Amino acid sequence: MKLLVVFLPLVAFCAADPIPLIPGNNDHYIEGVSRYIWMPDGDGVPHLVDLHAPPSELDDRSGANNAYWLYTRRNANNHQLLVNGDINSVRNSNYQANLPLKVVVHGWNSKGSSKMNPEITASILAVMDANVIVVDWSKVASGLYTTSVRGVPDVGRHLGQFLIWLINNAGGNWNNVHLIGFSLGAHVVGNAGRTCNGRIGRITGLDPAGPQWGRNANALNQHDGVYVESIHTDGGLLGIFDPISDADFYPNGGRNTQPGCLESICSHNRAPYLFASSVRTNHFIGMRCADLTEARRNRCAGAHHRMGNALVNKRGTGLYGLSTGRNWPY
């Protein structure tokens, strides 16, 4: 009888919140309710995440571990390390204060060399002469998802402090700064923008992470920069669906499944590649939506606003829908 007393609650628990068995498939997930979700690492490999797992108190969640990798047209394939507080690391690099500054930030369980970073970096340098800084925050981004979420604000603050130091000591123009962050990285750049007192010219959130970010004061928002935009591709699952920016784009309805995808992880990962394609081609034309329902149904027919692209001084407001293709360049 004692065995039955233990067994029945276990059955009830598993029935109410089952562990999903198909890697990458998040069809079971209910935002704010479900305990488990599949999340990709930087190579797109799915990992089962327990959203109820407490953060580890043993892990170092400090943004002091950030590494700043500079790429320019003179070193497009090999980064130069910039060190906060070390002006010689900048003077001995190819950093040019008169050029636009693009900053790319990866998501959970990823690193500076993860696939999205060279893809976006190469796209930027193909169309413009610029300083591209890839932020490697892999020490905080690895491990338990909940721990990484708790580390996002400090990672963002350190990035913001680095940018303030860089521009004050090596030159630059806040209007020419563009921060680009994917998933958790979208919230990192939001916190960086806040640290810079909203002076960043443009911030782009690529499917900003959704789990544990509802009503989270540290999430990306429209006040973090002069112009803030988000591209939603897996809204309600791995990404946030609600509008959080000046301009929010909902390609193909902004949710799973995106064209050519079979599951949530693919839809989530589509955002950085849509952005990289937009930088090279600038061919995605969003049409303004009357409301979120119209965006979800991809039935928008209002004024045009281009999704993504390489412009620094971009402006616009509203919700925008559009259709893309299944394969590159989409």
Answer whether residue 106 shows pLDDT above 70.
yes
**32-89 pLDDT, tens digit each:** 899 999 999 999 999 999 999 998 876 778 999 999 999 999 999 999 999 999 999 9
Q: Which residues of 144-156 are buried (b: 16+ CB within 10 A; e: fewer)?
A: bbbbbbbbbbbbb
Answer whether residue 247 shows pLDDT above 90.
yes
Domain boundaries, the chain: 53-322
- Residues 6 or more apart from 169 whose CB is under 8 A from it? 87, 90
Q: What is the pLDDT of residue 208?
A: 98
Q: What is the pLDDT of residue 61?
A: 82
Number of H helices, E strands in the chain: 8, 13
Q: What percentage of residues in the chain have a pLDDT greater than 70?
A: 95
Place of tokens 């060190």: 83
Phi, psi of 33 (to 5 degrees): -120, -50
Which pTM does this prediction carry?
0.94
Phi, psi of 40 (to 5 degrees): -85, 150
Tell me which of 56-70, 106-120, 180-194 is least confident: 56-70
CA distance 324 to 258: 9
Answer whether residue 98 shows pLDDT above 80.
yes
Stronger pLDDT, 19 or 104, i.e. the higher one = 104
Element (H, E) at 248: strand 247-251
- Work out the pLDDT band at 161, boundaries 50, 70, 90: very high
**Active centre residues (catalytic):** 183, 207, 268
* CATH superfamily to which 53-322 belongs: Alpha/Beta hydrolase fold, catalytic domain (3.40.50.1820)
**265-302 pLDDT, tens digit each:** 999 999 999 999 999 999 999 999 999 999 999 999 99
Answer whether residue 1 shows pLDDT above 80.
no
Query: What is the residue-averaged pLDDT of the chain?
Result: 93
Rg of the chain's alpha carbons, rounded to an integer?
20
- Work out the pLDDT band at 16, boundaries 50, 70, 90: low
Q: What percentage of residues in the chain have a pLDDT greater than 90?
A: 90
Q: Which residues of 248-270 are buried (b: 16+ CB within 10 A; e: fewer)?
A: bbbbbbbbbbbeebebbbbbbbb
